[in-house]
Amino acid sequence: MGLISKIHRTITKRPFFFLKYARETLLFINSYFLLKIFKPKNVKTGANLHSISPFVFQAEMPYAHIDAGDDMTSWGGVKIYAWGKGEVKIGNFCSFGSKTIIHCRDSVQIGNHTLISWNVLITDFDAHSLKLEERMAEIEYTKNMLWPNFSKKQVKHKSIYTPGFITKPIIIEDGVWIGANATILKGSKIGRGSIIGANAVVSGEIPPMCIAAGNPARVVRSLT
């Protein structure tokens, strides 16, 4: 059977599969060229990057930096942010599922052959203060920055809110698999070959070659 016949057979028998495959192929090709144009100067990517979106990487100038290795795959909605002096380093052969988000203000290191499922959040800092007064000031400051204040009511917190982010590096070693909807918080270290269950919240150290699940994540079995 010739190539044309195989394609025709696929279209007629599995039209939905064909259209889905064709769409994703075109998106990957489109993103390849757009990434060449829109990739920030402080973002370095290796060979054979496959991404549905050309806007995966955002590194704040001038100090933040993102370094992605070879053969990385990212699906729709993946966002990798480096803020301030944050540094994200991604190894080779890593895959990021849809809507996975990385926020970095310190250091996020992801090893080779890491599989990250969809809707995973990785953040190496607390986005808001633990102190009530500072959170209240932040809310008022943000509102006044975004919208004009037509009220005569005086703002209680007159000082400009300046967040003091608490950060700790994150290390994800080679061969880790992170399940859907998991959250990896600041200071986490996940050992080589370990699996993080869906919906888990990691906030400490997970040893190599084990399965961890729950909130907070705890080792449930060994893989050795």
- Of the pLDDT bands very low, low, confident and very high (cuts 50, 70, 90), residue 157 is very low
Residue 96's beta-bridge partner residues?
Answer: 74, 116
Place of tokens 């990739």: 39
* Domain 3-222 fold: UDP N-Acetylglucosamine Acyltransferase; domain 1 (2.160.10)
Cα radius of gyration (the chain): 21
Element (H, E) at 67: strand 65-68
- Who wins on pLDDT, 100 or 52? 100
pLDDT at position 125, please? 94
Asked which of 39-48, 147-156, 174-183 is least confident by mean pLDDT, the reply is 147-156
Q: How many other C-beta atoms are found inside a 10 Å radius of the C-beta of residue 158?
A: 8
- Predicted local confidence at residue 10, as pLDDT: 63
Question: Which among 64, 75, 76 has a CA at the least distance from the CA of 40?
Answer: 64
Higher pLDDT, 189 or 157: 189
Percent of the chain with pLDDT strictly greater than 90: 58
Q: CA–CA separation, 65 vs 187, rounded Å?
A: 19
Rounded CA-CA distance 105/91 in Å is 19
Residues 6+ apart with CB under 8 A from 133: 157
Give residue 158's pLDDT. Answer: 45
Q: Mean pLDDT over residues 40-69, rounded?
A: 90
Reported as type and span, the H/E element at residue 24 is helix 15-38
Q: Is 136 helix (H, G, I), strand (E, B) or coil?
A: helix
């400051």: which residue's tokens?
Answer: 141
Give residue-wise pLDDT tens across range 82-118. 999 999 999 999 999 999 999 999 999 999 999 999 9
Question: What whole-number percentage of the chain has pLDDT above 70?
Answer: 83
Pairwise CA distance, residues 102 & 24, whole Å: 23
- The domain spans of the chain are 3-222
Strand partners, 198: none
Min mean pLDDT across 64-68, 86-90, 137-141 is at 137-141
